[in-house]
Structure formats: C-alpha cells, structure tokens
Amino acid sequence: MSLQSLASAPSLRKGMLGTALTISSDELDDVVLKAASRRDAHEFSLQITAAWTRFNLAALEKEAARLDRILARVVSLAAPSQYPAACEIAPLLDDARALDSALLSKLNAEAIGPEAVARIAPVRKFASDPRTLRANGIAAFVTAELDRWKDFFDNIESNPLTPEQRLSVVVDEDATLVLAGAGSGKTSVITAKAAYLVKAGIRQPEEILLLAFAKNAAEEMSERVEARSGVPIVARTFHAIAYDIIGIVEGSKPALADHATDDMAFTNLIKQILKDLVYRLSEVSKAIIQFFAHFLVEPKTEWDFKTKHDFYTHMESQDLRTLQGEKVKSYEELQIANWLYENGVEYEYEPVYEHKIAETGRRDYQPDFRLTESGIYIEHFGVRRQKVADGSERLITAPFVDRDEYLAGMDWKRKVHAEHETTLIETYSYERQEGRLLTGLAEKLAPHVTLKPRSPDTIYDRIVELKQVDDFSKLLGTFLRKFKSGGYSLQDCETKSNQMKLGKRAQAFLDVFAPVFEEYQKRLDGRIDFEDMILRAAHYAETGRYVSPFRHILVDEFQDISQSRARLVKALKAQHPNVRVFAVGDDWQSIFRFAGSDIHLMRHFGREFGGAFDGEAGVHRTVDLGRTFRSVDLIAFAARTFVLRNPAQIQKQIVPAGTATEPAIRVVSVSKGEDEAKLSEVLTAVSAALAPEATPATVLLLGRYRFVEPNLREQRRRFPRLKISFKTIHASKGLEADHVILLNADSGRTGFPSEIVDDPLLSLVSPEEEAFQNAEERRVMYVAMTRARHTLTILASNARPSSFVTELKKDPAYGIVAPPGVELEEHGCSECGGRLLGVTGKDGRIWYRCEHVQHCGNLLPACQSCGTALPRGTDGTTAVRCACGATYPSCPQCEDGWLIERSGSYGKFLGCVRYPTCVGKAKTSSGDRSTLTKPRRRNRA
C-alpha cells in the first residue's frame, strides 16, 4: 500500500483480544490488523503517521515553486495590476485545478499541519469558486484604474468623459461590446481606448488594430487619436487591412477590379453581362426572358392573403407591369399578358366592351383582354376547385371574396357574350394552381389565333426599353456580392429555397444567376473585388499563412459588420490566446442589411466573439453608454420608445442632452402638390424663432430616397439665417442638426416605411429574417429622429400618411404635436379593412377615401352638415351619426355609406352617397323617418 494512497493517519481500537489498527486508503479497501498488543499497535501507528507526514510534506515541497507561482497570481486577484480578463485567468485556473487534482486535494490537513493548510487554501478556494474571485478582482481593478487615470479621462476630450465612457475604456474583457446610442460619444470612447492602451503600457501602437467601415471615417479617427493623445495609431478600413494581408502573404497585391469602388460601373457590368448572354447563349437567353416575363415580381395572388387589406398592401408593393407596358391588377393577369406578348399575339388590356350594355347602375363592362386581330375576349376568373364530401367539385373564391357574388358575376359576363355573340375564352386560378394556366390558354386559343413568337433579342430590347433591366441588375448585383461575401454555393441557395418554399421563382432566378456569376468571375481576369479581398485575407489568417501582430482589435460602427468581416476578425483573434475584441456600435442603428450587415452578430456578440472561463463559453462584457449629448428629452425618449417596439432590440437606457422647453416633435399634414409650400412654412417658423443675435441654425432635411430632395438653392436664398442641407437617412448616419425635417413620410412603394422591401430572393444569401414587421425600417426611422438636437418636424401626406406617422400620432407616449387647424381623423374601411383617410378634393370639399385607392375605390364625402368629419354607423341602430351631431339613415347595401335624397325618373328617393359604387337605396316617406327597403344585391365582380 503506497503512502500516497492513505486517506488519514491509522486509527486504534481496543478489543477483548487486543488492539485493532485500521489503515484507511483512497485506492484499496481498509486494512485492519487485529489482536495486536497495545504497545506494538501504537508504535506501528506512529511510524506510519511519521512516514505519511514526511511523504506529504515532501510532495508539497516538490511542487513548492509551482504552488508559489500560482498562489502569487491568485492572491494578486484581490488587487490586480491588469484587468483579469477570461483569457488571462483561464490558464491560471487550469494550472490551479491541475495542481489541486494531482496534489493539493490529496494532501491531508492532519498530515501537513495548519501552516501548510493555510498556504494552499487560497489556491484550493480559487479552483473551486473561480468566478467569484475573478469578479471581485475585476471590481477592484476597475475602481482603482478609474481613480488612477482620472486626469487622463478629464482631459482626453474637450469635455471630461462620462462615467459610462470611462468604464468602457478600462474594461478589457476578451470581448467587450460598448452600446453607443445616437449622440453618445462613441468616437470619444474609441479615441480614449486606443490612447489608454498605449499610455498604460498594455499594448504597443503596432499591436492595436483600429477598424472603421469607411475610408473617411478611418482617416478622421487616425487624426483624432494622434491629436488627442499623441499616439500614432493608424485606423484602417476592413478592405485596407485585408489588402495588406494579401500583399504580405502573396508578396504583391493583386489588381483591384475597376468596378470594385464604383457601384454604377458594377451595375453596368451586370447589365452588359445579361445582354451578352441573351445574344450569345440561347439556353441562357431563354432563362433570362422566362424570369422577366413570369418571375420578375413575387408570384403571390389573392389566395395567399386572408384579408383584402393585406392583399392590396402587397399589390401596392409590386410593380405588375407587363412586357407591353401596361399595369395589371393581378399576378395571374401578368402571366397571361406576357405570354401573349412573347407569342406575338396583339391585345388590349381592359378595353371597354364593344357593345353597350343596358343600364346596370355600374361602370361600363371591361373584359380583361381583347385580342385585336381576332376580336376574341379573355376573362381570367379567380376561382379554384374544391372537392366536397360526395366526391363532386365546387368552385371557391379567395378567403375575403364573396363567393356567391363573384360566381354571379361570372354568369353575368358569360350571358353578355352569349347575347352579343362575341367569343369568350376563360382561364381560371385553379389552372395555375395545377401548373397548366399557360399551356391551357395555348390550347384554347389554338383554333382562333396563329402564334408568332418574338425572338429573345426582341423581347430583351423591350425589357431594356421598359427599364426593367436596371432594377433587376441591381438585384443581381446585390445578390452576387452577398453570395460571395457569405461564402455561399448554388447548392446552399437551392437548399435554402426549398426550406423557405420560395418555389419556381427562386429556381428561375438561380437559372439566371448561375451563368451571370460564372461570366462575372471570368471577367475579373485575375483581378479581385472587395468580397474576394476580405475572404482571401480571412483564409490566410485562418490557415496561419498570415501571422497577426495584433493583440487588441477595436471595431467602430459594429452594428454594420457582415459575416465575412466577422470571419476576418475571428481569424485574427484566434491567432493568439490573449487577443481582445473591443466593439462599439448601436443595434438600434443597424440599417445596412441590404449591404450584408448582420444584426445577429451584435445581438449574439458573446457567442460569436467571447472567451471561455470555468466551463462557460461566450464570456464578454457589455457597457451601455446611455447618455446622449445630442437630443433633448422629448426626442430622445420618443425615439427610444419607437425603436423598442421591436422586442428583439437590445434594451438601453437613455440620459437626454437636456430638457425641452416646448414641443419638440411635430407632424405636419401635406395635401397633394403642397410639399414645397409646407416645407417653406416650417422653415419660416424655424427662422422666425431665432433670436436676432443668434448664430445661424442648422437644418437637416431628410428623405428615405434621394428623389425627394427639394430645391436647396431656392430655400437657402429665402432663409439666409438657416444652414440647410439634405441627406438620405442612410447617408445621415453620424450627422446632427439643430432642427431636422423629415420629408415624404407617406405610405406606398417609395414611402416610409419603404414598401420596396428586400426582394425575398435575397434571403437566400442573407442572415435570417427578423420576425418583427418593418424591423429595419423602424431602425431607419430611429436614425432619422435622432439626428435632431432641438426639434423634429415630420411632413406627411394627409391622404396617405405612413404607418409610422399614424403610430406616432395615436400613441400619447410619443408626445407628438400637430399644428393648429383641422386634423382629419382616420377611419377603418369596411370594404377592405384598410384606412379611410381625409383628403381635400379638386372641388375644395373634404372626402374620405381608402388608402388602397388603386384597388378598393371606397370614397365617401364628408358630412354635409359640418363639411369635415365622417359620419359613422352605430351598432344596433339604423342611423349614421357625425361628430357634429348630424344623423343620416344608414345604407342597407354597404357598411360605410349613408342615404341622402336624390332625384330619379320616378321622383325623389334615398340613395347611397357612394353611388355608383354602391346602389343601395330606399323610398322616401311623408313622415319624419324613411322607410328603408333593402334592394336586390347587385353583383360587383
């Protein structure tokens, strides 16, 4: 039995036949010597104990140097001289636990004595509870360091750093994320961090990598660090450091493609590749024409939506323009029109029927298509087939369409053609569902029409003429860059398409993209683009061909980081065990997903960049700067409330720059054609509020798109005391002004939030989608709001205000103020579920019309009594009441209308105010109240 295996000193027990000596072991069963003499047993016990003690003390002495080294570092954690980061303390913990397992845990307190026990106790405590000791060490270091560097923090910038900024500088975890809200002084933090690392002797300048996204930002940061601290640290863009890495590994830097720095040249290259492929390769040209003709827009129909409002909203975000040039009302009509054009069949879309129909109380009949040579009509009916219990089939309509009314409309149209002996060809939604809409159409037309297919070249020239190539080339270009930077393969895209059920459109797109990408890579001809640059550099760092000198990596605007850039940072971090990542950013300002930025890298910062300690992965530290030096309280708090409607955004506290003494956010309603006049009114008010001796105020005009930019030269001439500038919201990042005016906050494709959202195809090469509706557009709005120091004015159409404006006005939490005057309310549209919005008509009267004016057509006059408000029905009554007190009989036919007196061929009667859209009527009576009669329901298919 080895002395090492003894668990304790031997024990003696007196029995009837003598003394029993028990020796306990950790490795074997206890050994008991029985019936020994008392003296012999005692003597033997003393000899074993002495030998055991000598053995333990010898073992301890053998590891004395190792123990002392570990002990000194553990004891130093009480007042550490450097930040006890996980990467620094994890090796110490490994050493302590290895020593504890191999020796300390096996030493017996009785054998080594109280002095030795006290000596090893701190190491054993650290091994068993390292997190507490490290946390205490961090707290002690931070407190002492903040005091030690107080003068530095007071003087590094023109104003002393805030407590939060100071904390972010001295914290030096494996990965540190500084949450820098709008106007919180993030540049001051990076400047101070870089200077502190060098001045404190933590790093040499060449060991610090300072990364920015834009070249001008990098230059500005380099100048600022040196000017503020005297420390010569050169900030670089991701592309610059990547290019340097490639040059070091390869011995020279490959030529950069001409289009790499010119977005227009890049898009033009894609357009040229498309054109060349159409004219050169027949199979590819077919794929390209097929996509333009049938998959350019998202192939959704009314069957994909539960309400009219959702369907109309989707349709307004699509440009359903045919190859012939007209706009159609549904995707299936688009397919039919483009098939006719491809096959050289001349047609008219929605012509007025050639025969006059007897008075029906509705607009003239307009069939979907008329073929000009043959005179044949085509009607496309939105019906599908459904099997019923007895095995037969019935026709059904989309969820929000009245089936009986729609089927009656189909019968009416068939009768019209039968009565006037015109040929009607019918197509149905169920044919597309079954994959035979166009083949079926070809069969039906075969007896009447000779097809004359147009050549791909001719069709492509037409596509160019319609300017559809421009947007598609941008889509292809964006897809290509994201495809390369994300390291995707075509197989990856196809797999993801199947998972997301994007269907034939995605496959049609990939059939075009594959040859375009192949040709693009050929045309690089040995040169590289920015995507190649980042990925090649990351590969060299990952494989060790590039040896990084960097121990601290400081990243500005971290919310804009992409997967490829993150890969480069991780590769550089992995080269040495003690490399730190210090990231400054604001997830509330992450607005460049279209350029590849991945907000999830910031939201899961610890998982992506953190260290490991005591079995815990993703160890990192987050510091919230909180305080804004820009916006007054009303703007700062409203912006915070607005962006946090999305629960996925990281919670941050805001300390505003000051207290507003008057309303800070206003919404101004703009009638059609009044944009310039309303802007001038706002600028006049801003200028008039300036004190005579005040310096000129800065005014920043913001637009979601550049096309909303007004005539700046004229505005500057009229308001010389205002420094007026215009930026798109994306270009305004980092800017601020005394007063901000947000232009065109309207609904619609090019409104705000933009309805030209990322094409779903981009999801094949994009980070996972965010579940919250308009998540990124909400962050764009936050950026716009937080450019303002004192006031924010939002100009919004009174006919089509954006959903953001509606939210801001309705919720008292935002404290929004509308200017004096009549503020027309919004009401729900009973026809489609959208909004009825008050507008001023050409006749000067106020009308309420549905926001989906192209599709719904619900239009109501304001109350005839007050001329401004909209009468609304009351549950349980047959009356419609206005806020002004006027009442009207409700319409028996529709939900929104009411009856007014009209004259007809048979005298006076009560008719709906929505006539001719609604033909609801009632008889007049000689008494005070009207006798309502519900007329026969008219078809409105």
HSE, CB side, 13 Å, CA atoms: give it for residue 91: 6
Tell me: is residue 806 an annotated ligand-binding position.
Answer: no
Q: Is 876 annotated as a binding residue?
A: no
Q: What CA–CA distance (Å, rounded) separates 592 from 472? A: 19
The number of C-alpha atoms within 13 Å of 368 and in the hemisphere containing its C-beta is 24
Contact 126, 134 (CB under 8 A): no
Reference 508, options 279, 274, 287, 282; nearest CA is 287
**For residue 91, is the peptide bond before it cis, meaning its omega torsion is within 30 degrees of 0?**
no
Nearest to 860 by CA among 904, 915, 823: 915
Say if CB 567 and CB 531 are below 8 A apart: no
Q: Hunting for tokens 């989309």 — which residue is that?
A: 398
Listed residue (615, 672, 656) closest to 853, CA to CA: 672
The DSSP letter of residue 255 is: P
184 is in an annotated binding site: yes
- Number of neighbours of residue 562 by Cβ within 10 angstroms: 24
Q: What 3 state SS string does 350-419 have?
A: CCCCCCCCCCCCCCCCCCCEEECCCCCEEEEECCEEEECCCCCEEEECCCCCCHHHHHHHHHHHHHHHHH
Count CA atoms within 13 Å of residue 249 on its CB side: 21
Q: Is 187 annotated as a binding residue?
A: yes
Whole-number Å distance between alpha carbons of 137 and 146: 14
Confirm or deny that 186 is annotated as ligand binding.
Answer: yes
Question: If you search the block for the tokens 């030269």, which residue do you land on?
Answer: 713
What is the signed CA dihedral for 206, 210, 211, 212, rounded to 10 degrees?
-130
Residues 6 or more apart whose Cβ sits within 8 Å of residue 396: 383, 384, 385, 386, 403
890 labeled part of a ligand binding site: no
| Residue 574, token pair as written in the block | 């992995």
Is residue 158 part of an annotated ligand binding site?
no
Angle between helices 503-524 and 263-280 (to 10 degrees): 100
C-alpha distances (whole Å) from 246 to each of 260, 380, 536, 574 are: 16, 59, 7, 18
Burial 293-322 (b: 16+ CB within 10 A, else e): bbbbbebbbbbebeebbbbbbbbbebebbb
User: Are the CB atoms for 648 and 775 separated by under 8 Å?
Assistant: yes
- Residue 142 is inside which H or E element, if any? helix 130-148
| 113 carries a ligand binding annotation | no
- What lies within 8 Å, CB to CB, of 764 at 6+ separation is 479, 488, 492, 493, 496, 497, 500, 502, 506
Annotated binding site, which residues? 180-187
Annotated binding site for ATP, which residues? 180-187
